[in-house]
Amino acid sequence: MAKSTAFQVNQGSKVTIGTEVTLGTATLAAGSTLEMPCTEYSFSELGAGGLALDAAPFRAGLGGSAQSDDMVKARRHDRMWEVSLTFQASAKAIDRICLALFGDGTTPNILLGNMPAATTYKHAVASIVPVTIHFEDGAHAGAGTDIHFYGCMCTSFSLSGDLASNGGNVIGTATFVTGYPPVESALTFTGGTHVLMTSHVTMFNMHDLSTSTITPSGGSAEDLVLYGFDLNIERPVNRIGFDTAANNFKPAGYAVGGYEVTGSLTAKRDAESLTAITVADSAQPVFALDLDTTVFQISAAKAILDTASINFDDDGWKNVMPFRCTYDSAATSNPVVSIGTAA
């Protein structure tokens, strides 16, 4: 065959997230979709690209110093493809990722102590939690042929803001995994509800913060001069079983684990930050977090301070304050963290 002239570039692709109706069936052309304001993305390769190999141990003695094709096999039964999306933190993008990760996609997007509502998802059973992620013109053939990953489950979501980067725009990163092999084919979304890129008009920006406080348990609100922050929500997603029909090794379903919510604040090192890291209740360094632009808000009622440190920067020393978000043990229905996207 002759060398191909096809190619793919980031500027030639568009990323869309579609809501699925049944696990194992991609979003329908007339389904509900959202074009994401991605700045970067990546995904696993098709077929054997990226498959891990397992090898049998060498045999002892003469004649056992090499490996036959019976001794080396690809691990197809537990293959998981990964998709990573980095995007501008618009209201619609944040809402959609929160919906995929913990089931609340309406501001203030609250992760509760008793989430998730379901811990298992079965193939061919109705569920709106899994999503299809579609990359326009992302197939090997280039322009005119798309690639989509279906049965995707969100495993993590992070928000990161830095006054000195990206014009202060907060950047989101979401990671998805799927046990279903991706498909290369043209896919056009018609009808249904299709939210276009032009709808992302409200963006989370560090320069718009009107409130950036830590309120230690038993203390008062400490007003931080905040340079940056990050918030990370993660959970494990494990594939269950495999089906060798048509040699595709599709999963029987997924099992999901609990959420870990961590983050970090970087603030000017001063009397306010000192009080924030030293005033705590009698047992634990618990505080309430509030970052608010009057439109976007990140709040956590029971964050616990981890080991604080110092950045000895030329533009002034700064305190770095890692933390972990928890819910009030008085009830599992109490919030762990909320991410508001509207005034």
**Are the beta carbons of 173 and 84 closer than 8 angstroms?**
yes
Report the alpha-carbon distance of residue 14 to residue 20 in Å, rounded: 19
CA distances from 319 to 112, 286, 288, 301 (A): 29, 17, 17, 21
Q: Give residue-wise pLDDT tens across range 209-260.
A: 999 999 988 888 999 999 999 999 999 999 999 988 877 889 999 999 999 9
Q: Please, which residues bridge with residue 310 across strands?
A: 319
167-176, 178-187, 249-258: which range is least confident on average? 178-187
Is the pTM above the cut of 0.85? yes
- Given this model, what pLDDT does residue 50 score? 56
Q: Return the domain boundaries, the chain.
A: 13-45+77-340
Q: Give residue-wise pLDDT tens across range 95-117.
A: 999 999 999 999 999 999 999 98
- Given this model, what pLDDT does residue 294 score? 96
pLDDT at 49 over 70: no
